[in-house]
Amino acid sequence: MEKYTKEDLINVVSDKGELTKVEAKKNIELVLSTILEMGKDKGIVLRGFGTLQYRRRAARNICHIKTKERVTIPEGKVLNFKMSEVA
């Protein structure tokens, strides 16, 4: 699996869409913020693309590397993405 940054996505959209990088960045940020806003707190299913869903992460104890002190990380929500199946 290859990893890309948002900057990589902006470059591809600006090239393929014949947009300036500023326009591409504005459009990508608009789409991403709208998707996150629509699925706030409960998640969202985008048919043909995937599912964004919040999951609960349990509290856990870790050891701080430098100080060797035990630290408790509280429970929280994590945004999970599952790609839809491609036919």
Q: Which CATH number do you get for residue 65?
A: 4.10.520.10
Q: Which range marks the domain in which residue 32 is found?
A: 1-38
The answer on pLDDT for 87 being more than 70 is: no
Residues 54 and 74 in one domain: yes
Using one digit for the tens of pLDDT, what is the confidence trace for 49-81? 899 898 999 999 999 899 989 999 999 988 888
Mean pLDDT of the chain: 90
pTM score > 0.75 for this model? no
Q: At what angle do helices 21-38 and 6-16 cross, to 10 degrees?
A: 120
Residues 6+ apart with CB under 8 A from 30: none
Number of folded domains that form the chain: 2
Average pLDDT over residues 25-46: 89
CA dist 47 and 3 (Å) reads: 23
